[in-house]
Chains A and B, each alone.
Chain A
Amino acid sequence: MNDIRRRMRQTGGRGRKLRGLIDLLRPYRWRVTAMFVSLVVATAAALAPAPLAKLAIDDGIRTHDVGALDLIVVAFLASAVIYVIASAVQTYLVGWVGQRALQDLRVQLFSHLQQLSIGFYSRNRAGVIISRLTNDVEALDQLVEDGIATLFQSGLTLIGVVVILFALDPHLALLTFLALPVLAVGAFVFRIASADAYRLTREKIASITGYLQESLSGIRVVRAFGQEPKHIARFAELNDENRAANMTTVNLNAAYFPAVEFLSALVTVEILVIGGIEAINGHTSTGVVFAFIAALNNFFDPIQNLSQLYTTYQSGMAALDKIFELLDEQPDLSDAEDALTLPHVRGELQLDHVSFRYGTDEAGEWALRDIDLAVPAGQTVALVGATGAGKSTFAKLVARFYDPTEGRVMIDGHDLRSVSAQSLRSQLGIVPQEGFLFSGTVRENIAFGRPSATDEEISAAARAVGAEHFIEALEDGYNTQVGERGIQLSAGQRQLLAFARALVADPRILLLDEATSNVDVHTESLIEQGMRRLVAGRTAIVIAHRLSTIRHAGRIVVLEHGQIVESGTHEELIEAEGRYWELYRDWAEQAAA
């Protein structure tokens, strides 16, 4: 019982979902109206032949009135022509409105995803997120494309048939509707049972997509270790799980739809027997029973269509659930309502007693504790410390990928929480360790942060960071396609492009996660020079790994366990013989070894 209640809860929120769908259609209300008009006209035109044929028989053929027959045939053809036109218009409009609504939904989802914080992307697998944008929207596509037309055509037909049945014989009509409660209960049970099943199929296909994505990204590792058979076996398992999930829906459908058909046969028997006995007893005519049985076909067809639609509806709704789940994910770092546009900054950075922990767990460990630091505009700060000392977290707070748990991060005196993310990040340059490139040309990638950059600016930036040589050696120079769709660049080359990309963006404040391994012997000095060009005149926070970088920094901040243990210039810190001095001594010993 509890199980059923849980399942019923899960199928709830339908109002919310329907409202969501209606919201999607609202901007196109005129086309939607036109669509409905054409639907009604097309449905009416599709229903017209039956009564017209009856009329032809009764008023033309039986009465031997050739003139009337001709007239009716003309009306018959006219209705068919109207049907063609209305149906064409309806098909076009349903397609247009449906596709447009899905397009909007995709864009809405995508733009929502763009607003979500980095934390969200760390928690969720990329494959699953992608599945929301693709598989789930596809499921909705079916619902919208097949659904709207079927819903209204079948609905209208059903209403029409009910009216006809009542007009023929109210008593028999009521008897026919006896089947409705049975149908309703059946549909309800079916719905509860299949809601879970359809949800499961969506989850399974998402996990297949996720697995596929991961094993394709890691294909080099798979190859290098010769582990293809293992992945094939695991994939086969996922595939089987997906099959099992789908099998449940197959079984449910196999039980339900034939049962509805059987019910229609039973109703036919019911009407034949009861109506037949009435007719034999003279309470009604054989013609009425005949007409009634004929009309019954049109009673169950739309019901059947509607229940067929129900499957599409189920998977569409399950998909919609997941989509709304994603849309409900609140951007935890949204701009304040009165967010200011950060004016052009000088680049003065201040961390005012900043503490931070990942997640909301109050008992969690502090990633940063009571960081108090003021960086004057134009200074380069090298963050030094072990893995996990808090260097990356420090940089992420400055980029406002996260908000501090306590304290404030300020640029030129503006609390980052009070300014819009857009205005903040447009003045911020970030060079991550891994140079991620987008599909596009070298030029587009360098101009990523400032698409309006001219060719001169782009090549100047490439020259400044020492990327010019290898770019010009590429087949199409700056127009060479890179990223997934293009050629593969080495890690060092990607790193150089990431530098150039940051330089073109010309940020006031630079966050640089120095590569530890990606840079090649030969380019190392180039990069060193490039980096110096990059940080010149800017405030720079460098997660530093190289002594040369650290030495040249205006200030070295040594982090340990999320706290600042020392800060000063290289000379000062050596003089002080503290933590930094110990580190330096260790390094010198090792370098000598």
Chain B
Amino acid sequence: MLIFRRLLGFLQPYKRGVTWSFAFAFGAMGATVLIPYLTGRAIDAIRDHDHHGLWVWAIAIGAAGLARLGLSVFRRLVAGRVSLGVEVDLRNLLYARLQELELSFFDRQQTGQLMSRATVDLQAVRFFLGYGLIYIAQSLLSLLLAAVAMFALQPGLAALALAPLPFVVLIAFSYGRRSRPALQEVQQRIAELTAEAEENISGVRVVKAFAQEHRQLARFRGSVARVFDQAIYATKIQALYGPLISFLPNIGLALILFVGGRQVIHGTLTLGQFTAFYAYLLILISPMRTLGYMLSAAQRATASGARIFQVLDREPQITSPASAPELPPGHGHVKLSGVSLTFDGTRHPALSDIDLEVDAGQTVALVGAMGSGKTALVSLLPRLYDVTEGAVYIDGADVRSVDLVSLRHEIATVSDDPFLFSATVHENIAYARPDATREEVEDAARAAQADSFIRDLPQGYDTLIGERGLTLSGGQRQRIAIARAIAANPRILILDDATSSVDASTEQEIKLALRELMIARTTFVIAHRLSTIALADEIVVLEDGRISAQGSHDELLDSSPLYREIVEKGMPDQVFMTRKPHEARAVGL
């Protein structure tokens, strides 16, 4: 019920629209009720051979029809706008919330699940709020009016005829209670199915490579069967209750025939009254069905609403404090003091007790084994995650105390697996600064050694690059990601050994560009190779989430056995490709 009330809250901005659509709906209903009455009068006129009366009533029917036409048109227009408005609002709200939620939320969620909330669930809510409510109100009003009319005619017979009504309500209620969780489970399983499909389509290359189509199909069949089973369960509930709900009014009709018929035979009821009674109860059947149907729509909307609220109610863990100041001006002085980080749901801390101070403009290389905490450490700077203990300061300000957007605008990351958006090359490079001119974008591309291959693309900078940038090679994606970071003009740069998948000579050029780029910025490099380490002023060796050594290359060779081991084993430094890369639209395997 709480969910239901909250759903109603989304109609708040459309109060006027809702009021009008109710008004129009009731007006149209009035006209609909009026027409049979007028028809009755016309029949009377025919029986009385009243030509004039016949014409008057006929014209009145036409007028009522016309009024209903106008009212219905407006009702539909207004209700349609309200319903679509609610859908847009809810979806935008949901999306905005998703954009606010911290990364650890997405680490544990399937994209398909989230997507199904924004589409299937939303439409159920939209339908109900836009149309369902009006139908429910209309049905209830019809029921009320007909009941009043019947009691006015013959209270005893009315009580008898309406006796099955409470049972209808009871059964409808029980129907709703049973069908709601069943339908919710259907939605849940459809969401799982979507996730399954999504994963398969993303991983299609692996599936094909291992010739596992049949097994994936079997897995998908399993998901489909789960949807089927649940849908059938829901159908069974419907098959049990639906006919029962429409059966009950027939008992009322039979009672009227049985008791009312006898009353007519015994002369205590006129035939006309009897007919009217019968007609009123007939009028009740359709709203009763509508009510049943709409109740289940309400159930569905509530089920969907619950799933939407699950996301909406999740408070973002990482937000700017109220009226947070912008990141103070500076040149990128970074200090981590006593920092520990434990990811949700893991036991071992990813970082413990890190103390690190980096002067503005310095370049720090982070070295260490897989899982030693290099990536975790740099993800604390733009607050992708928040520290569990300690604090991170940039130019003297605790990152948790400043405006998040201003913070992230000053930090650019180039990861080892760059993600590009389905957009033009220009838009991808200008991602952080959408207002960048073509010239600025080209400058950034030139600095990242991407300009020449971009010019070779079919539409140059206006070439659309596909989902996940798949139509570009790894090296090309990498350079666009570097250009994107350069265009962002950040105070702090984070490189996740980003230069490693371009060929040797391009890498050399990129390194020169990076060196220039690094001059005015603080740079963190997650280094896998000696040549990258050579770029650094300071090397930090991480081991199991702790800083095990820190210093220059020569110092560390003396002081850190781990560093010496890494260097002696030979940093893999063998990216080996041709000197003049011929760029083409190669596709990663």
Shortest Cβ distance from residue B371 to the other chain A in the assembled complex, whole angstroms: 7
The residue in A215, A239, A523 that gathers the most chain B C-beta atoms within 10 A of its C-beta is A239
Contacts of B566 in A (CB 8 A): 521-522
Q: How far is the CA of A277 from the CA of B100 in the complex (A)?
A: 72
Shortest Cβ distance from residue A500 to the other chain B in the assembled complex, whole angstroms: 13
Q: Which of B27-62 contact A (CB under 8 A)?
A: 35, 39, 42-43, 45-47, 49, 51, 54-55, 57-59, 61-62
Contact (Cβ within 8 A) B473 A448: no
> Could you tell me the dominant secondary structure of chain A's interface residues?
helix
Contact (Cβ within 8 A) B110 A254: no
Contact (Cβ within 8 A) A61 B271: yes
Contact (Cβ within 8 A) A490 B261: no
Name B382's contact: one of A76, A224, A254 (CB within 8 Å): A224
Q: In this complex, what residue of A is CB-closest to B85?
A: A243
Contact (Cβ within 8 A) B579 A582: yes
A550 in contact with B576 given A95-B231, A388-B583 (CB within 8 Å): yes
- A266 CB-CB contact with B under 8 Å: yes
Q: How far is the CA of A230 from the CA of B436 in the complex (A)?
A: 14
Contact (Cβ within 8 A) A546 B574: yes
Give the top 6 A-B pairs by smallest Cβ distance, nearest first: A265-B65, A95-B235, A226-B408, A250-B80, A388-B584, A425-B211
Q: In this complex, what residue of B is CB-closest to A286?
A: B47
Q: How far is the CA of A483 from the CA of B111 in the complex (A)?
A: 12
A126 in contact with B201 given A239-B91, A277-B54, A522-B369 (CB within 8 Å): yes
Contact (Cβ within 8 A) A126 B467: yes
Contact (Cβ within 8 A) A583 B199: no
Q: Which of A367-409 contact B (CB under 8 A)?
A: 367, 384-393, 395-396, 399, 401
Q: How far is the CA of A66 from the CA of B266 in the complex (A)?
A: 10
Q: Which of B258-302 contact A (CB under 8 A)?
A: 258, 261-262, 264-265, 271, 274-275, 278
Name B585's contact: one of A99, A388, A425, A516 (CB within 8 Å): A388
Q: How far is the CA of A114 from the CA of B215 in the complex (A)?
A: 11
A261 in contact with B72 given A272-B58, A438-B199 (CB within 8 Å): yes
Q: How far is the CA of A243 from the CA of B81 in the complex (A)?
A: 9
Shortest Cβ distance from residue B79 to the other chain A in the assembled complex, whole angstroms: 8
Q: Which of B184-234 contact A (CB under 8 A)?
A: 190, 193-195, 197-217, 220-221, 224-225, 227-228, 231-232, 234
Contact (Cβ within 8 A) B572 A246: no
Contacts of B369 in A (CB 8 A): 520-523
Shortest Cβ distance from residue A279 to the other chain B in the assembled complex, whole angstroms: 5
Q: How many A-B residue pairs have CB under 8 A?
A: 542
Contact (Cβ within 8 A) A214 B39: no
A280 in contact with B49 given A265-B68, A491-B416 (CB within 8 Å): yes
- A422 CB-CB contact with B under 8 Å: yes
Name B254's contact: one of A77, A251, A293, A448 (CB within 8 Å): A77
Q: Which of A262-290 contact B (CB under 8 A)?
A: 262, 264-266, 268-269, 272-273, 275-277, 279-280, 286, 289-290
Q: In this complex, what residue of B is CB-closest to A119?
A: B587
Shortest Cβ distance from residue B25 to the other chain A in the assembled complex, whole angstroms: 12
Contact (Cβ within 8 A) A222 B99: yes
Contact (Cβ within 8 A) A225 B474: no
Contact (Cβ within 8 A) B253 A53: yes
B 103-139 binary contact with A (CB < 8 Å = 1; else 0): 1001100111011101110000000000000000000
Contacts of A92 in B (CB 8 A): 235-236, 239
A126 in contact with B202 given A225-B431, A293-B39 (CB within 8 Å): yes
Q: How far is the CA of A96 from the CA of B419 in the complex (A)?
A: 43
Contact (Cβ within 8 A) A545 B207: no
Known interface pairs A365-B584, A387-B581, A449-B212; 11 further A-B residue pairs with C-beta atoms within 8 A, sorted by A's residue number: A76-B250, A114-B216, A121-B205, A265-B61, A265-B62, A272-B61, A422-B211, A428-B211, A439-B199, A519-B528, A520-B528
Shortest Cβ distance from residue A47 to the other chain B in the assembled complex, whole angstroms: 13
Q: In this complex, what residue of B is CB-closest to A104?
A: B224
Contact (Cβ within 8 A) B370 A268: no
- B571 CB-CB contact with A under 8 Å: yes
Shortest Cβ distance from residue A278 to the other chain B in the assembled complex, whole angstroms: 9
A73 in contact with B257 given A250-B84, A279-B46 (CB within 8 Å): yes
- B475 CB-CB contact with A under 8 Å: yes
Q: How far is the CA of A439 from the CA of B422 in the complex (A)?
A: 25
Chain B: how many interface residues by the 8 Å CB criterion? 184
Contact (Cβ within 8 A) A209 B65: no
Interface-side segment among B1-9, B146-154, B241-249, B438-446: B241-249
Interface-side segment among A7-15, A80-88, A455-463: A80-88
Contacts of A230 in B (CB 8 A): 434
Chain A: how many interface residues by the 8 Å CB criterion? 185
- A336 CB-CB contact with B under 8 Å: no
Contacts of A550 in B (CB 8 A): 574, 576
A546 in contact with B575 given A218-B419, A516-B500 (CB within 8 Å): yes
Contact (Cβ within 8 A) A247 B115: no
Q: In this complex, what residue of B is CB-closest to A141?
A: B231
- A49 CB-CB contact with B under 8 Å: yes
Contact (Cβ within 8 A) B500 A485: no
Q: In this complex, what residue of B is CB-closest to A91?
A: B239
Name B347's contact: one of A115, A386, A449, A475 (CB within 8 Å): A475
B 64-94 binary contact with A (CB < 8 Å = 1; else 0): 1110110011101100110011011001100
Contact (Cβ within 8 A) B201 A433: no
- B505 CB-CB contact with A under 8 Å: yes
Q: How far is the CA of A239 from the CA of B90 in the complex (A)?
A: 10
Contacts of B470 in A (CB 8 A): 122
Contacts of A228 in B (CB 8 A): 96, 99-100, 405
- A208 CB-CB contact with B under 8 Å: yes
7 inter-chain pairs at a CB distance below 8 angstroms, sorted by A residue, are A76-B257, A95-B239, A126-B201, A133-B193, A226-B382, A228-B405, A582-B579
Name B199's contact: one of A396, A484, A548 (CB within 8 Å): A484
- A148 CB-CB contact with B under 8 Å: no
Q: How far is the CA of A579 from the CA of B504 in the complex (A)?
A: 15
- A451 CB-CB contact with B under 8 Å: yes
Interface-side segment among A26-34, A105-113, A169-177: A105-113
